[in-house]
Structure 1
Amino acid sequence: MTLHPDALLAGPRGRRLCLEVLLGEKGRRGVEDAAAAVSWAARPLAENPGTFLVIGSDTSAFVEPQVSPADAAAAAALGRLRATAVTGAVLDTALAVAVDLAAYWQPPYGEDVLLATDEMHPVLEPVAAAIAASTLAEWWTSPVDHAAQATVCSETPRPPAAHPVVVLARWRDDIAAEEHSFATEFAGRDVSGTWWSTPPTGLPRTTRVRGTTGPAGLTLVEDSLGWESARVEPVRAPHGDVIEIDGPETWAALCRRHPLPVTASRRYVWSMTTGREGAWVQPDWAAFAREAVGVHLSVAGYLTTAGRAIDVGDLGASVLAGWGPDETFWFEVAPTVGPAESWVIDPHGDERRWRRS
């Protein structure tokens, strides 16, 4: 599969990646002004923009800037940064930030609303083209790497895992019970509930190991909690077919093949994050577990699909939410094949870089 710029710009995470690449070279001329212009333009677009506190002896002199996509101030400031080079350091950091800022249980951030406007498309388009053409992003479209998989455990140890067959059966029952509870107890009231559409988290879950930088799961974490240490365990990937999610079309096909209705529990949260009202479904992972040994979400699949309302015809729509890029959920046991390693955030770096302890 080839990563196309238009596909990258169709997804909120892909657009955020492009913004972070533009703003990635700290200290470069114009970056600070562009970041400020984006911040002020995004502020009125956020549902909960917050409150400014102005500290000083003469606060009456402060006037909040009025910036909007219509006057193109933010677009113009970003447009002057087009010459930035897509380096490995900038791309890795931009991807990590774009993933970290994903939030599917609330309305989108003002920046994400801003990036979806027509005024921003010409600014982001050359950045998306540069990213798609970069050899540094080639692995983003690749399938699961069976030979180099590892789990990442946070600072809180995981409880002992049950067998995947048990986990999947329990998950399917829990989904049905949750749907019934929301449909009867809340009866359409706006109550926040489950927002993710992943297989059950009790399954083995891995990402590929990328040389000395470690597993992708160390840095590519949605809504991270600022972990500064982690345990990495190499695993042996189960042998067999793995379902590959490489874009919205594949996600829609999975939903149509084995649909699992989740309208009652997801109605409120998914309508907040996408703006769409109506019926919702997600793939029934318990059904897919009878056909494959796992399911893998490529980085390209994540950037082009996550957080969008994906149309699935008469069934309604769906949202890919809660996954990490390059993450694989295994429907079978994935045993460890080596000693666990301790990884920590390098305290001497300007960016959040992981290293072996």
Structure 2
Amino acid sequence: MDIVELLLSGRRGRRVLWEFVLASEAQALSEFADHPLHSAMYYASYQVEACRGDSVIMFGPGADEGRTVTVSVEELAKLISATMLLPVTDQILQKSLESSVVHARYWQEPDGEDTLLAAPALRNALCRVAEYIVASGLTQQWLAPVDLRTQFHVEFDQPDPAGSMTSTGSSVFDKLLRWKENLILTEARARAEKPTPVTAMIGGEWWSRPSWDLRATTGVFTNQQPIGMSCVEDAFTWEQAVTRKASVPPSVKVLEISTANDWVQLCRDYGIEVTAHKRHEWYRTTGRDGAWVMPDWFAVSKDYDGVHLSIAGYLALAGECLVVDENFATLIAGWDPDQTYWFTDELRFYAEPDIWNCLDAYNEDCRCGNFQV
């Protein structure tokens, strides 16, 4: 599958395309001029969320009239097609990617924008944007396997930013064993305690990543900023980040996830059932009521030293319902683009850490990418 199709096939990929078009309109028009594309999506997404009962409120001057405004997907498609696109740069692609990740949510329905962008009537308009971006050649790195030479671990708001990451503590084996034991107990408890309709508003573990205790790294953007600083699903507001360059043994065996088949085959080979404790959240985000599996990371670690989700893989697959067989499906949730989880104790951090300060931590519109080292 080429990058154009990858961008069109996933909700995170489509959101990148949307953010690029939105940035194009913002640059072409003055701040105080009408922004028809932005306004159209605002009203259309409000109607989507209000009609399905989400907790959305429109207030302020003109709110009463605004609640009655309807915009069709055909109108949105025309506006997207009519927007003159920006020259493609690494900076605008980074911003678009960051914004797409910020809007990921797999414990509830996709937001109004993500819902609308999946409409078939928008595909041709979005395809134009995808082909335009891909023609720049700047998205080739999104398909790249893990680059062992430029891997960085990121920690946020640590009390001791200069603290060492070289101490081993528990082994990876022990961490993954505890992870699997906890998953089995959580599934058994949910099976016993949650015999409820799939529509019940019950919260729980919605992610399918490996153990929180494992070290994870990402590569860097072209400006050398670690991707894991600003591309974080379900992120929180932070004021300081500490990044450390990882020394990865060249002999490691890394499993690459870039296509649906990569993840599906992983679940076929190493799957473990998680239906009971993920059923409610994964139903809300996908609309599917059925049995679910995810990779058994303890079993995977016996054959691989790490697993890497490429940027393209993330954009195409994150949050999508992936069919494993006639009974089971699976979901990539809680991962970040270009993220590698490590199943080896051989990872080392020799270089001095870099400390980054967020220049506008409490401004959601500016927080992504607005750092100073």
Question: TM-score if structure 2 supplies the norm length?
Answer: 0.88
* Secondary structure in structure 2 of the residue aligned to 1:213: coil
How big is the shift at 1:62?
6.1
* Secondary structure in structure 1 of the residue aligned to 2:237: coil
Q: Which residue of 1 aligns with 2:257?
A: 245
Q: Which residue of 1 aligns with 2:353?
A: 340
List per-residue Cα deviations over 1:93-114 (Å, max 9, x = no partner).
0000001100000111011111
Q: Which residue of 2 aligns with 1:99?
A: 101
Matched AA of 1:232 = T
How big is the shift at 1:356?
4.5
Q: Does 1:223 align with 2:234?
A: yes
Q: Which residue of 1 aligns with 2:122?
A: 120
Q: Which residue of 2 aligns with 1:163?
A: 171
Matched AA of 1:206 = T
Q: Does 1:64 align with 2:68?
A: yes
How big is the shift at 1:340?
1.2
Q: Which residue of 2 aligns with 1:139?
A: 141
Matched AA of 1:53 = F
List per-residue Cα deviations over 1:146-190 (Å, max 9, x = no partner).
111110001145998532111100000000000000000122353
How big is the shift at 1:350?
6.1
CA distance in structure 1 between the aligned counterparts of 2:273 and 2:65, rounded to whole angstroms: 55
Q: 1:187 to 1:4 in 2, by over 3 A?
A: same
Output aligned runs, 1:128-207, within 5 Å. 128-156=130-158, 162-189=170-197, 190=200, 191-207=202-218
CA distance in structure 2 between the aligned counterparts of 1:137 and 1:9, rounded to whole angstroms: 14
CA distance in structure 2 between the aligned counterparts of 1:355 and 1:54, rounded to whole angstroms: 33
Matched AA of 1:76 = K
Q: Which residue of 2 aligns with 1:35?
A: 38
Match of residue 369, structure 2, among 327, 330, 353: 353
* Secondary structure in structure 2 of the residue aligned to 1:23: helix
Q: 1:144 to 1:187 in 2, by over 3 A?
A: same
Q: Does 1:88 align with 2:96?
A: no
Matched AA of 2:358 = I
CA distance in structure 2 between the aligned counterparts of 1:336 and 1:184, rounded to whole angstroms: 44
Q: 1:241 to 1:157 in 2, by over 3 A?
A: farther
- Contact 2:58 2:67 (8 Å CA) reproduced: no
Q: Does 1:325 align with 2:337?
A: yes
Q: Does 1:16 align with 2:15?
A: yes
Q: Which residue of 2 aligns with 1:5?
A: 4
Match of residue 75, structure 1, among 74, 77, 81: 77
- Contact 2:215 2:342 (8 Å CA) reproduced: yes
Q: 1:241 to 1:31 in 2, by over 3 A?
A: farther
Q: 1:77 to 1:242 in 2, by over 3 A?
A: same
- Contact 1:296 1:329 (8 Å CA) reproduced: yes
* Secondary structure in structure 1 of the residue aligned to 2:120: coil
How big is the shift at 1:346?
4.0
- Contact 1:9 1:304 (8 Å CA) reproduced: yes
Structural RMSD (CA): 2.4
How big is the shift at 1:249?
1.3
Q: Does 1:53 align with 2:56?
A: no
CA distance in structure 2 between the aligned counterparts of 1:39 and 1:286, rounded to whole angstroms: 44
CA distance in structure 1 between the aligned counterparts of 2:156 and 2:10, rounded to whole angstroms: 28
Deviates more, 1:131-140 or 1:87-96: 131-140
Alignment gaps of 5+ in structure 2? none
CA distance in structure 1 between the aligned counterparts of 2:59 and 2:157, rounded to whole angstroms: 35
Matched AA of 1:248 = A
How big is the shift at 1:41?
1.2
Percent identical across equivalent pairs?
Answer: 32
Matched AA of 2:189 = S
CA distance in structure 2 between the aligned counterparts of 1:31 and 1:260, rounded to whole angstroms: 52
Matched AA of 1:338 = A
Equivalences, count: 352
